[in-house]
């Protein structure tokens, strides 16, 4: 009879003779790229048999190569959140495997052990941060899985976090933070030359910011793009849209109104911001027509 292992306490001796497989390495690589990610999204990204992936997640946890906890504040509180926090063991693994050490954010991994190592140490603000990170991770997994399954579209680039943080100065000499949650580029392989790449900013809105704060965030995007700073900062000449994913249809309608009001000062606002609600689209794909902007009621997809 198989002994049930504890879920929150490690039993390393249970896997003392268990080897690290290619699936294990793919899981660690995915968690490193996604920062904080649910088991279901790891399974989608890694592919293959989901039960096998869950067994490998259990193995890696007990071997102290990955960490996990549950969010008591989230609707999916029964599901583990996975992250990396053992820099010492991961560096050893990189030296002995095909994992590339330069792909990992070692400073963040070291901070994670201090900040998230024990449930008692986590504050309400940390829970909000993690829920926000999980929303970004779910969208990232949607895009990665959709491009992998499509065959005609590639995820050419994905950037998130502090690498995107900067400020902009408005005409009224105000300084606004410009901190998109992510930037990504899709490569449409069957499109004509010069029309193959579409670049997007992505924002995850968990409805915790006031509409006034949202207006400032949207204005920062407009100023950043109108001043042409994207050429210097990120090396792209044109952005297709700023995607804003929120939780409910009611909030999505409010965000469209904010974008519409900004269009009086910045006409670009009417067509730049594409907004969608999670409650209507639990899983997104490249061809999902769910994004709406302020200029009209037409639903758009990322392939448009």
- Read off the tokens for 242: 């700023």
What pLDDT digit, counting tens, does each position of 74-103 carry?
555 578 999 999 999 999 999 999 999 999
User: Tell me, what's the pLDDT at 120?
Assistant: 46
Domains annotated for the chain, with CATH where assigned, are 12-122 (1.10.10.10), 126-277 (no CATH)
User: Tell me, what's the pLDDT at 78?
Assistant: 73
CA angle 68, 69, 71 (to 5 degrees): 140
How far apart CA 33 and CA 37 sit, in angstroms, is 9
Angle, helices 22-34 vs 50-62, to 10°: value is: 80
User: Tell me, what's the pLDDT at 210?
Assistant: 96
How far apart CA 147 and CA 169 sit, in angstroms, is 36
Beta bridge partners of 160: 182
Show the low-confidence residues of the chain (pLDDT under 70).
Answer: 1-3, 73-77, 117-125
Asked if 34 and 71 touch (Cβ cutoff 8 Å), the reply is no
Element (H, E) at 245: strand 241-246
User: Tell me, what's the pLDDT at 252?
Assistant: 96
Q: Give the DSSP letter string of 88-102.
A: HHHHHHHHHSS--GG
CB count in 10 Å sphere of residue 132: 16
Q: Give the CA distances from residue 297 to residues 247, 256, 275, in Å, rounded to whole numbers and listed in that order.
A: 19, 10, 11
**Phi, psi (degrees; rounded to nearest 5) at 71:** -95, 110
What pLDDT digit, counting tens, does each position of 168-189 carry?
998 888 999 999 999 999 999 9
Q: Give the DSSP letter string of 139-197.
A: HHHHHHHHHHHHSSEEEEEEEEGGGG-EEEE-TT--EEEE--SEEEEEEETTSPTTSSE
How far apart CA 63 and CA 81 sit, in angstroms, is 17
Angle, helices 249-262 vs 211-226, to 10°: value is: 50
Looking at every residue in the chain, the average pLDDT score rounds to: 89
What is the number of residues in the chain?
304
How far apart CA 204 and CA 3 sit, in angstroms, is 41
Scanning the chain, the segments in alpha helix (DSSP H) are 22-34, 39-46, 50-62, 87-96, 106-116, 124-150, 211-226, 229-233, 249-262, 269-272
User: Tell me, what's the pLDDT at 5?
Assistant: 85
């Amino acid at each position: 009879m198989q002994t049930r292992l504890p879920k929150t306490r490690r039993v390393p001796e249970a896997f003392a003779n268990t080897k690290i497989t290619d699936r294990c390495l793919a899981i660690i690589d995915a968690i490193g790229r996604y920062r904080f990610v649910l088991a279901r999204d790891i399974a989608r990204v890694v592919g293959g048999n989901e039960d096998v992936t869950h067994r490998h997640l259990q193995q890696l946890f007990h071997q102290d190569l990955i960490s996990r906890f549950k969010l008591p504040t989230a609707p999916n509180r029964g599901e583990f959140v996975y992250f990396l926090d053992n820099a010492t063991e991961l560096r050893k693994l990189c030296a002995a495997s095909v994992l590339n050490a330069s792909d990992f954010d070692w400073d963040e991994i070291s901070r994670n052990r201090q900040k998230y190592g024990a449930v008692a140490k986590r504050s309400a603000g940390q829970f909000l941060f993690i829920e926000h990170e999980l929303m970004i991770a779910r969208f990232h997994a949607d895009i990665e899985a959709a491009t992998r399954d499509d065959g005609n579209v590639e995820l050419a680039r994905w950037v998130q976090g502090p690498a995107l943080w900067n400020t902009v100065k408005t005409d009224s000499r105000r300084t606004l933070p410009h901190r998109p949650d992510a930037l990504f580029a899709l490569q449409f392989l069957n499109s004509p030359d010069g029309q193959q790449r579409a670049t997007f900013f992505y924002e995850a809105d968990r409805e915790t910011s006031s509409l006034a704060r949202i207006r400032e965030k949207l204005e920062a995007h407009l100023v950043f793009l109108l001043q042409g700073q994207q050429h210097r900062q990120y090396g792209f000449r044109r952005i297709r849209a700023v995607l804003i994913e929120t939780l409910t249809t009611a909030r999505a309608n409010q965000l469209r109104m904010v974008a519409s009001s900004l269009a009086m000062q910045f006409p670009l606002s009417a067509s730049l911001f594409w907004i969608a609600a999670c409650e209507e689209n639990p899983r997104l794909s490249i061809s999902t027509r769910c994004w709406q902007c302020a200029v009209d009621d037409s639903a758009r997809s990322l392939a448009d």
